[in-house]
Structure 1
Amino acid sequence: MTGDRLHPARPFLAASVAVFRNGKVLVASRGRAPWEDLYSLPGGQVETGETLEEAALRELEEEVGVSARLTGLIAPFEVIEREADGRVKHHMVIAVYAARWLSGEPRTGPEAREIRWVTESDIASLPTTPGLAGILAQAFAHDRRLPPA
């Protein structure tokens, strides 16, 4: 994590995406801090001039090589980590989207060490980033409301 993201002067805006394929969602173990080796959704920081939706799809392609069609915004998710003395260590506001897989077989890389397609019941057995289980419960509920792919 770059120096400006550690003990930031302001929150960072990010987007991530829960991609569904055949009733399973794509998760990847993080290759970098924070939360290295924990499973999460592909995503990352929004670039200047980029919409949240564009960022979510770009990060999905860059991190794991998958293309998808967004189906809805699941929730904003805020991460605030503090040092023992109370200083803010990390502060991210993440727009989490749901999507349906279009193309590309997931590939690992520097930001995604291991990739899995998992069922909703599989989540409890994985080491995940804080709050991921709750976000995925919402994403699975959203996906079940959509017509079959």
Structure 2
Amino acid sequence: MSDRSYPPRPILAVSTAVLRSGRVLLARRANAPGAGLYSLPGGLVEIGETLAEAAARELMEEVGVTAQPIGLCGARDVIHRDDEGQVARHFVVVTYAALWTSGEPATSLEADDVRWVAPHEIAGLPTTEGLAEAVAAAFARAGR
């Protein structure tokens, strides 16, 4: 059993809504949970890392992109329960809005597809819950 399964407390994670030319960078998750769903690039915060450091590291590791954070644009709980109602997973995901600075997105072991998407195109994709709202908040934070 993974240390992410049946945790004694919520697990802290970050994601980044990278904006470029009116589009946002999405990554399709290659692994569970959420395999096959488009989401914002991100992952777990490591001990001793700030949220911003974790966001930058995860962005580079997952899709090979760097971006300039412009501020927080949301947080959400991701809670999965098992058949008996026990909390099997609980992540708290803090999301940054950021402006692309360099790197062309590439797939990885964590992301089997990456693409720049206009906000109106999100509705046509299989996505993680709350993705459209997170993207809208990022564009609002960026004043766009």
Cα shift readout 1:117-148 (whole Å, capped 9, x = no counterpart): 001100100000111111112112222x16xx
Distance 1:31 1:59 in 2: 15
User: Secondary structure of 1:102's partner?
Assistant: strand
Cα shift readout 1:13-42 (whole Å, capped 9, x = no counterpart): 011100011110000100111000100011
Distance 1:141 1:75 in 2: 11
Is contact 1:120-1:140 (8 Å) kept?
Answer: no
User: Secondary structure of 1:10's partner?
Assistant: coil
TM-score (norm 1): 0.93
Number of corresponding residues: 144
The aligned counterpart of 1:114 is 113
- Mapping for residues 89-128 of structure 1, pairs under 5 Å: 89-128=88-127
Deviation >2 Å, runs of 4+: none
Is contact 1:27-1:116 (8 Å) kept?
Answer: yes
- Mapping for residues 42-61 of structure 1, pairs under 5 Å: 42-61=41-60
Is contact 1:7-1:89 (8 Å) kept?
Answer: yes
| Letter of the structure 2 residue corresponding to residue 142 of structure 1 | R
Deviation at residue 110 of structure 1 after TM alignment: 0.6
Tell me how large the CA RMSD over aligned residues is. 1.0
Distance 2:132 2:68 in 1: 22
Is contact 1:80-1:91 (8 Å) kept?
Answer: yes
Distance 1:91 1:60 in 2: 21
TM-score (norm 2): 0.96
User: Secondary structure of 1:5's partner?
Assistant: coil
Distance 1:141 1:68 in 2: 17
Unaligned runs of 5+ in 1: none
- Identical amino acids, percent of aligned pairs: 55
The aligned counterpart of 1:7 is 6
The aligned counterpart of 2:36 is 37
Unaligned runs of 5+ in 2: none
